[in-house]
Structure 1
Amino acid sequence: MTTHALIDASLIADGKQLVVEIENFLATQPARRPNLPTPKPARSGFDLPPVDELIAEAGIVTGPAPRQKKTKDRGLPGGVWRMLPDWALSARRGPRRQVTVTEHLQLTALVIQRYGWCGRGLRSRTGRRCILGAQAVLYRLGYGDQDTAMAAGRVMDHILTARGIRAHYWEWNDHAGRDEGDVLYLLREAIQAAGCDA
Protein backbone atom coordinates (compact mmCIF):
# COMPACT_ATOMS: atom_id res chain seq x y z
CA MET A 1 0.00 0.00 0.00
CA THR A 2 1.43 3.40 -0.93
CA THR A 3 1.93 6.19 1.61
CA HIS A 4 -0.77 8.28 -0.10
CA ALA A 5 -3.26 5.39 0.04
CA LEU A 6 -2.48 4.90 3.74
CA ILE A 7 -2.97 8.61 4.44
CA ASP A 8 -6.15 8.88 2.33
CA ALA A 9 -7.63 5.82 4.00
CA SER A 10 -6.69 6.69 7.52
CA LEU A 11 -6.93 10.29 8.69
CA ILE A 12 -9.43 9.15 11.17
CA ALA A 13 -10.83 8.77 14.64
CA ASP A 14 -8.65 11.20 16.54
CA GLY A 15 -8.66 13.67 13.65
CA LYS A 16 -12.41 13.25 13.18
CA GLN A 17 -12.91 13.99 16.87
CA LEU A 18 -10.97 17.26 16.56
CA VAL A 19 -13.05 18.30 13.54
CA VAL A 20 -16.25 17.40 15.45
CA GLU A 21 -15.10 19.52 18.42
CA ILE A 22 -14.27 22.47 16.14
CA GLU A 23 -17.62 22.21 14.36
CA ASN A 24 -19.47 21.97 17.70
CA PHE A 25 -17.64 25.06 18.94
CA LEU A 26 -18.40 27.03 15.78
CA ALA A 27 -22.07 25.99 15.94
CA THR A 28 -22.35 27.71 19.34
CA GLN A 29 -21.05 31.01 17.97
CA PRO A 30 -23.59 33.71 17.09
CA ALA A 31 -24.31 34.13 13.39
CA ARG A 32 -22.14 36.72 11.68
CA ARG A 33 -23.32 39.07 9.01
CA PRO A 34 -20.81 39.38 6.18
CA ASN A 35 -18.97 42.67 6.05
CA LEU A 36 -20.57 44.49 3.17
CA PRO A 37 -18.45 46.99 1.27
CA THR A 38 -19.17 50.68 1.74
CA PRO A 39 -21.00 51.93 -1.37
CA LYS A 40 -18.80 53.99 -3.61
CA PRO A 41 -20.07 57.20 -5.13
CA ALA A 42 -21.73 56.50 -8.44
CA ARG A 43 -19.67 57.31 -11.50
CA SER A 44 -20.78 57.39 -15.03
CA GLY A 45 -21.24 53.89 -16.33
CA PHE A 46 -21.75 50.67 -14.44
CA ASP A 47 -19.33 49.47 -11.72
CA LEU A 48 -19.19 45.82 -10.69
CA PRO A 49 -18.04 44.75 -7.23
CA PRO A 50 -14.79 42.80 -7.00
CA VAL A 51 -14.89 39.25 -8.35
CA ASP A 52 -14.40 37.72 -4.86
CA GLU A 53 -17.59 39.43 -3.65
CA LEU A 54 -19.55 38.25 -6.69
CA ILE A 55 -18.35 34.67 -6.14
CA ALA A 56 -19.27 34.83 -2.43
CA GLU A 57 -22.72 36.30 -3.14
CA ALA A 58 -23.40 33.60 -5.72
CA GLY A 59 -22.52 30.93 -3.16
CA ILE A 60 -19.86 29.41 -5.39
CA VAL A 61 -17.36 27.23 -3.55
CA THR A 62 -13.86 27.51 -4.95
CA GLY A 63 -10.98 25.17 -4.36
CA PRO A 64 -9.98 21.68 -5.40
CA ALA A 65 -12.58 19.46 -7.04
CA PRO A 66 -14.27 16.98 -4.70
CA ARG A 67 -12.97 13.43 -4.72
CA GLN A 68 -15.05 10.99 -6.71
CA LYS A 69 -13.97 7.80 -4.97
CA LYS A 70 -14.48 7.29 -1.28
CA THR A 71 -12.32 4.72 0.39
CA LYS A 72 -13.34 2.86 3.48
CA ASP A 73 -11.95 4.57 6.58
CA ARG A 74 -9.85 1.94 8.29
CA GLY A 75 -8.25 4.29 10.78
CA LEU A 76 -4.89 4.26 12.44
CA PRO A 77 -4.31 2.95 15.93
CA GLY A 78 -4.40 5.49 18.76
CA GLY A 79 -3.22 8.98 17.91
CA VAL A 80 -0.92 7.95 15.06
CA TRP A 81 -2.54 10.56 12.78
CA ARG A 82 -0.90 13.27 14.91
CA MET A 83 2.53 11.96 13.95
CA LEU A 84 1.85 12.27 10.22
CA PRO A 85 3.23 15.34 8.42
CA ASP A 86 1.09 18.49 8.61
CA TRP A 87 0.34 18.38 4.88
CA ALA A 88 -1.51 15.10 5.49
CA LEU A 89 -4.19 16.98 7.46
CA SER A 90 -5.28 18.63 4.19
CA ALA A 91 -6.66 15.25 3.09
CA ARG A 92 -9.38 15.63 5.76
CA ARG A 93 -10.31 19.13 4.69
CA GLY A 94 -13.65 20.01 3.22
CA PRO A 95 -14.39 23.44 1.77
CA ARG A 96 -12.44 26.19 3.52
CA ARG A 97 -14.54 27.75 6.28
CA GLN A 98 -13.92 31.36 7.23
CA VAL A 99 -13.64 32.14 10.93
CA THR A 100 -13.14 35.42 12.75
CA VAL A 101 -9.86 36.30 14.44
CA THR A 102 -11.51 35.69 17.82
CA GLU A 103 -12.73 32.24 16.72
CA HIS A 104 -9.29 31.45 15.29
CA LEU A 105 -7.68 32.26 18.65
CA GLN A 106 -10.31 30.20 20.50
CA LEU A 107 -9.74 27.24 18.19
CA THR A 108 -5.96 27.59 18.58
CA ALA A 109 -6.43 27.26 22.35
CA LEU A 110 -8.73 24.24 21.76
CA VAL A 111 -6.04 22.44 19.72
CA ILE A 112 -3.40 23.10 22.39
CA GLN A 113 -5.73 21.99 25.21
CA ARG A 114 -6.71 18.84 23.33
CA TYR A 115 -3.25 17.72 22.18
CA GLY A 116 -0.88 19.51 24.51
CA TRP A 117 1.66 22.28 24.07
CA CYS A 118 5.29 22.13 23.05
CA GLY A 119 8.08 24.65 22.76
CA ARG A 120 10.95 24.70 20.28
CA GLY A 121 9.25 23.41 17.16
CA LEU A 122 5.85 23.42 15.50
CA ARG A 123 5.06 20.05 17.02
CA SER A 124 6.54 17.23 19.03
CA ARG A 125 6.75 13.59 17.96
CA THR A 126 3.68 12.87 20.08
CA GLY A 127 1.57 15.55 18.36
CA ARG A 128 1.86 18.39 20.89
CA ARG A 129 1.76 21.80 19.20
CA CYS A 130 3.19 25.25 19.79
CA ILE A 131 0.95 28.25 19.06
CA LEU A 132 2.11 28.46 15.44
CA GLY A 133 1.75 24.69 15.07
CA ALA A 134 -1.83 24.81 16.38
CA GLN A 135 -2.57 27.59 13.88
CA ALA A 136 -1.13 25.36 11.13
CA VAL A 137 -3.49 22.53 12.15
CA LEU A 138 -6.48 24.86 11.76
CA TYR A 139 -5.26 26.10 8.39
CA ARG A 140 -4.60 22.57 7.10
CA LEU A 141 -8.06 21.43 8.27
CA GLY A 142 -9.63 24.35 6.36
CA TYR A 143 -10.59 26.70 9.22
CA GLY A 144 -9.70 30.29 8.33
CA ASP A 145 -6.98 31.47 6.01
CA GLN A 146 -3.50 32.96 6.21
CA ASP A 147 -4.87 36.48 6.66
CA THR A 148 -6.89 35.36 9.70
CA ALA A 149 -3.86 33.61 11.22
CA MET A 150 -1.66 36.65 10.62
CA ALA A 151 -4.25 38.98 12.18
CA ALA A 152 -4.42 36.69 15.22
CA GLY A 153 -0.61 36.80 15.42
CA ARG A 154 -0.67 40.60 15.37
CA VAL A 155 -3.10 40.60 18.32
CA MET A 156 -0.75 38.33 20.31
CA ASP A 157 2.30 40.41 19.31
CA HIS A 158 0.48 43.59 20.45
CA ILE A 159 -0.21 42.04 23.87
CA LEU A 160 3.43 40.96 24.21
CA THR A 161 4.61 44.45 23.21
CA ALA A 162 2.31 45.96 25.86
CA ARG A 163 4.05 43.67 28.39
CA GLY A 164 7.42 45.03 27.26
CA ILE A 165 8.36 41.88 25.32
CA ARG A 166 9.93 42.53 21.93
CA ALA A 167 9.79 38.96 20.62
CA HIS A 168 7.12 37.76 18.20
CA TYR A 169 4.63 35.31 19.70
CA TRP A 170 6.26 32.28 18.02
CA GLU A 171 9.67 33.29 19.45
CA TRP A 172 8.10 33.95 22.85
CA ASN A 173 6.52 30.46 22.70
CA ASP A 174 9.98 28.88 22.43
CA HIS A 175 11.68 30.70 25.34
CA ALA A 176 13.09 28.51 28.09
CA GLY A 177 10.82 28.35 31.12
CA ARG A 178 7.63 28.84 29.08
CA ASP A 179 4.80 26.43 29.84
CA GLU A 180 1.33 25.58 28.60
CA GLY A 181 -0.29 27.80 31.23
CA ASP A 182 1.63 30.84 29.96
CA VAL A 183 0.57 30.08 26.38
CA LEU A 184 -3.11 29.60 27.23
CA TYR A 185 -3.07 32.81 29.29
CA LEU A 186 -1.70 34.74 26.28
CA LEU A 187 -4.38 33.20 24.08
CA ARG A 188 -7.12 34.17 26.58
CA GLU A 189 -5.86 37.75 26.61
CA ALA A 190 -5.73 37.77 22.80
CA ILE A 191 -9.29 36.39 22.59
CA GLN A 192 -10.51 39.23 24.79
CA ALA A 193 -8.54 41.84 22.84
CA ALA A 194 -9.74 40.51 19.46
CA GLY A 195 -13.34 40.42 20.74
CA CYS A 196 -13.11 44.10 21.70
CA ASP A 197 -11.91 45.00 18.20
CA ALA A 198 -14.70 43.06 16.46
Structure 2
Amino acid sequence: MTVPAPPFDRLDRLDPHELAQALGLVEEIEQYLAGLPAPASPPAPAAGPYGSVRQPWNHGEPLPRRSLLDRLARRPARPVEVTVAGHLRLTSRYLAEAGWTQGALWDARGRVCLLGAQTAVLAHGYGTAYTVRRARAQVMEVLHATGRPASSPDVWNDRPGRRQAEVHALLERARARAHFLGI
Protein backbone atom coordinates (compact mmCIF):
# COMPACT_ATOMS: atom_id res chain seq x y z
CA MET A 1 0.00 0.00 0.00
CA THR A 2 1.50 3.29 -1.08
CA VAL A 3 0.75 6.33 0.94
CA PRO A 4 0.79 9.69 -0.80
CA ALA A 5 3.21 12.26 0.51
CA PRO A 6 1.70 14.52 3.13
CA PRO A 7 1.10 18.13 2.20
CA PHE A 8 4.18 19.55 3.91
CA ASP A 9 3.35 23.07 2.81
CA ARG A 10 0.05 22.96 4.82
CA LEU A 11 1.12 21.02 7.96
CA ASP A 12 0.61 23.98 10.26
CA ARG A 13 -2.95 24.49 8.97
CA LEU A 14 -4.12 20.85 9.15
CA ASP A 15 -6.03 19.62 12.15
CA PRO A 16 -4.60 16.47 13.81
CA HIS A 17 -7.26 14.19 12.30
CA GLU A 18 -6.51 15.32 8.71
CA LEU A 19 -2.77 14.97 9.36
CA ALA A 20 -3.22 11.41 10.63
CA GLN A 21 -5.31 10.60 7.52
CA ALA A 22 -2.69 12.12 5.26
CA LEU A 23 0.12 10.12 6.85
CA GLY A 24 -1.90 6.88 6.71
CA LEU A 25 -1.74 6.47 10.48
CA VAL A 26 -5.44 5.78 10.93
CA GLU A 27 -5.40 2.73 8.64
CA GLU A 28 -2.20 1.45 10.23
CA ILE A 29 -3.61 1.80 13.75
CA GLU A 30 -6.90 0.14 12.72
CA GLN A 31 -5.00 -2.81 11.24
CA TYR A 32 -2.89 -3.12 14.39
CA LEU A 33 -5.94 -3.03 16.69
CA ALA A 34 -7.79 -5.59 14.54
CA GLY A 35 -4.89 -8.01 15.01
CA LEU A 36 -4.92 -7.80 18.82
CA PRO A 37 -6.61 -10.59 20.82
CA ALA A 38 -9.96 -9.87 22.47
CA PRO A 39 -9.68 -8.19 25.89
CA ALA A 40 -9.70 -10.51 28.88
CA SER A 41 -12.53 -10.43 31.39
CA PRO A 42 -11.98 -8.07 34.33
CA PRO A 43 -10.17 -9.64 37.29
CA ALA A 44 -12.19 -10.88 40.25
CA PRO A 45 -12.09 -8.81 43.44
CA ALA A 46 -9.19 -9.54 45.75
CA ALA A 47 -9.96 -12.18 48.34
CA GLY A 48 -9.53 -11.56 52.06
CA PRO A 49 -7.17 -13.58 54.25
CA TYR A 50 -9.72 -16.37 54.68
CA GLY A 51 -10.75 -16.70 51.05
CA SER A 52 -13.59 -14.22 50.83
CA VAL A 53 -14.12 -10.50 50.60
CA ARG A 54 -14.28 -8.82 54.01
CA GLN A 55 -17.75 -7.86 55.14
CA PRO A 56 -18.79 -5.69 58.10
CA TRP A 57 -20.07 -7.54 61.15
CA ASN A 58 -23.68 -6.55 60.45
CA HIS A 59 -23.60 -7.41 56.73
CA GLY A 60 -26.95 -8.70 55.51
CA GLU A 61 -28.92 -7.06 58.32
CA PRO A 62 -30.92 -3.88 57.78
CA LEU A 63 -29.56 -0.79 59.47
CA PRO A 64 -31.71 0.71 62.24
CA ARG A 65 -33.48 3.75 60.75
CA ARG A 66 -35.20 6.52 62.64
CA SER A 67 -38.75 7.17 61.49
CA LEU A 68 -40.24 10.64 61.22
CA LEU A 69 -41.94 10.10 64.58
CA ASP A 70 -38.61 9.04 66.12
CA ARG A 71 -37.00 12.22 64.84
CA LEU A 72 -39.84 14.44 66.05
CA ALA A 73 -39.78 12.81 69.49
CA ARG A 74 -35.95 12.96 69.51
CA ARG A 75 -35.62 9.31 70.37
CA PRO A 76 -33.42 6.56 68.95
CA ALA A 77 -34.61 4.30 66.16
CA ARG A 78 -36.68 1.25 66.97
CA PRO A 79 -34.44 -1.81 67.20
CA VAL A 80 -34.20 -4.11 64.21
CA GLU A 81 -35.99 -7.34 65.01
CA VAL A 82 -33.60 -10.28 65.14
CA THR A 83 -34.13 -13.81 66.34
CA VAL A 84 -32.12 -15.27 69.19
CA ALA A 85 -30.12 -17.24 66.62
CA GLY A 86 -29.54 -14.03 64.64
CA HIS A 87 -28.39 -12.20 67.77
CA LEU A 88 -25.88 -14.96 68.57
CA ARG A 89 -24.57 -14.87 64.98
CA LEU A 90 -24.19 -11.08 65.11
CA THR A 91 -22.47 -11.37 68.51
CA SER A 92 -19.90 -13.77 67.10
CA ARG A 93 -19.31 -11.58 64.05
CA TYR A 94 -18.95 -8.45 66.19
CA LEU A 95 -16.49 -10.28 68.46
CA ALA A 96 -14.46 -11.37 65.42
CA GLU A 97 -14.26 -7.82 64.07
CA ALA A 98 -13.64 -5.95 67.34
CA GLY A 99 -11.37 -8.52 68.96
CA TRP A 100 -11.74 -10.43 72.22
CA THR A 101 -10.69 -9.63 75.77
CA GLN A 102 -11.16 -11.06 79.25
CA GLY A 103 -11.94 -9.43 82.57
CA ALA A 104 -13.74 -6.34 81.21
CA LEU A 105 -16.68 -5.54 78.95
CA TRP A 106 -14.24 -3.76 76.62
CA ASP A 107 -10.72 -2.38 76.73
CA ALA A 108 -8.98 0.73 75.40
CA ARG A 109 -8.31 -0.96 72.03
CA GLY A 110 -12.03 -1.68 71.53
CA ARG A 111 -11.82 -5.43 72.15
CA VAL A 112 -14.85 -6.91 73.90
CA CYS A 113 -15.73 -9.93 76.01
CA LEU A 114 -18.76 -12.12 75.36
CA LEU A 115 -21.11 -9.85 77.32
CA GLY A 116 -19.50 -6.74 75.79
CA ALA A 117 -20.18 -8.09 72.29
CA GLN A 118 -23.81 -8.78 73.17
CA THR A 119 -24.11 -5.28 74.63
CA ALA A 120 -22.55 -3.72 71.51
CA VAL A 121 -24.93 -5.59 69.19
CA LEU A 122 -27.85 -4.37 71.30
CA ALA A 123 -26.47 -0.81 71.39
CA HIS A 124 -26.15 -0.80 67.58
CA GLY A 125 -29.91 -1.38 67.40
CA TYR A 126 -30.21 -5.12 66.80
CA GLY A 127 -32.72 -6.89 69.02
CA THR A 128 -34.04 -6.04 72.47
CA ALA A 129 -32.94 -6.72 76.03
CA TYR A 130 -35.35 -9.66 75.96
CA THR A 131 -33.53 -11.08 72.92
CA VAL A 132 -30.20 -10.76 74.76
CA ARG A 133 -31.56 -12.54 77.86
CA ARG A 134 -32.90 -15.40 75.73
CA ALA A 135 -29.57 -15.63 73.88
CA ARG A 136 -27.66 -15.80 77.17
CA ALA A 137 -30.02 -18.57 78.29
CA GLN A 138 -29.13 -20.54 75.14
CA VAL A 139 -25.43 -20.06 75.87
CA MET A 140 -25.97 -21.34 79.44
CA GLU A 141 -27.92 -24.34 78.10
CA VAL A 142 -25.03 -25.24 75.79
CA LEU A 143 -22.47 -24.81 78.58
CA HIS A 144 -24.41 -27.16 80.87
CA ALA A 145 -25.24 -29.64 78.09
CA THR A 146 -21.56 -29.96 77.16
CA GLY A 147 -20.40 -30.54 80.74
CA ARG A 148 -18.98 -27.08 81.31
CA PRO A 149 -21.19 -25.73 84.07
CA ALA A 150 -20.60 -22.10 84.95
CA SER A 151 -22.55 -19.60 87.00
CA SER A 152 -22.72 -17.29 83.96
CA PRO A 153 -21.25 -17.03 80.46
CA ASP A 154 -19.11 -14.16 81.75
CA VAL A 155 -17.42 -16.36 84.36
CA TRP A 156 -16.79 -18.95 81.65
CA ASN A 157 -15.40 -16.22 79.32
CA ASP A 158 -12.98 -14.93 81.97
CA ARG A 159 -11.48 -18.28 82.99
CA PRO A 160 -7.68 -18.38 82.54
CA GLY A 161 -6.62 -20.26 79.43
CA ARG A 162 -9.81 -19.50 77.52
CA ARG A 163 -9.30 -18.75 73.80
CA GLN A 164 -11.30 -16.65 71.38
CA ALA A 165 -11.92 -19.70 69.19
CA GLU A 166 -13.68 -21.40 72.12
CA VAL A 167 -15.97 -18.39 72.54
CA HIS A 168 -16.88 -18.48 68.83
CA ALA A 169 -17.50 -22.24 69.00
CA LEU A 170 -19.79 -21.76 72.00
CA LEU A 171 -21.71 -18.99 70.24
CA GLU A 172 -22.08 -21.14 67.11
CA ARG A 173 -23.43 -24.11 69.10
CA ALA A 174 -25.86 -21.84 70.93
CA ARG A 175 -26.91 -20.30 67.60
CA ALA A 176 -27.51 -23.73 66.08
CA ARG A 177 -29.56 -24.75 69.12
CA ALA A 178 -31.65 -21.57 68.95
CA HIS A 179 -32.17 -22.05 65.21
CA PHE A 180 -33.26 -25.66 65.80
CA LEU A 181 -35.74 -24.43 68.42
CA GLY A 182 -37.01 -21.78 66.02
CA ILE A 183 -36.13 -18.85 68.25
TM-score normalised by structure 2 residue count: 0.61
Give the match for residue 39 of structure 2. none
2:60 matched residue in structure 1: 25
Moved over 3 A (4+): none
Q: What is the match of residue 122 of structure 1?
A: 105
RMSD: 2.7
| Structure 1 residue aligned with 2:165 | 181
Q: Deviation of residue 170 (structure 1)? A: 1.3
1:197 has 2:181 as partner:
yes
1:131 is matched with: 114
**In the aligned structure 2, how far is the partner of 1:162 from the partner of 1:95?**
35
State the one-letter code of the partner of 1:26: E
SS at match of 1:66: helix
Aligned residues: 123
User: Which structure is richer in relative contact order (CA contacts within 8 A, separation 6 or more)?
Assistant: 1
1:47-126 to structure 2, matched below 5 A, reads 65-66=70-71, 94-126=77-109
In 2: Cα distance, 1:94 partner to 1:164 partner: 40
Contact residue 114 and residue 167 of structure 2 kept, 8 A: yes
Q: CA deviation at 1:166?
A: 2.2
- The aligned counterpart of 1:157 is 140
Paired with 1:132 and 1:68, the residues of 2 have a C-alpha distance of: 30
From the superposition, tell whether residues 68 and 100 of structure 1 become closer, same or farther in structure 2 (CA, over 3 Å): closer
CA distance in 2, matches of 1:119, 1:140: 20
**Structure 2 residue ranges without an equivalent (≥5):** 1-55
Unmatched segments (≥5 aa) in structure 1: 1-19, 28-60, 70-90
Look at both structures and tell me which one has the larger radius of gyration over its CA atoms.
2
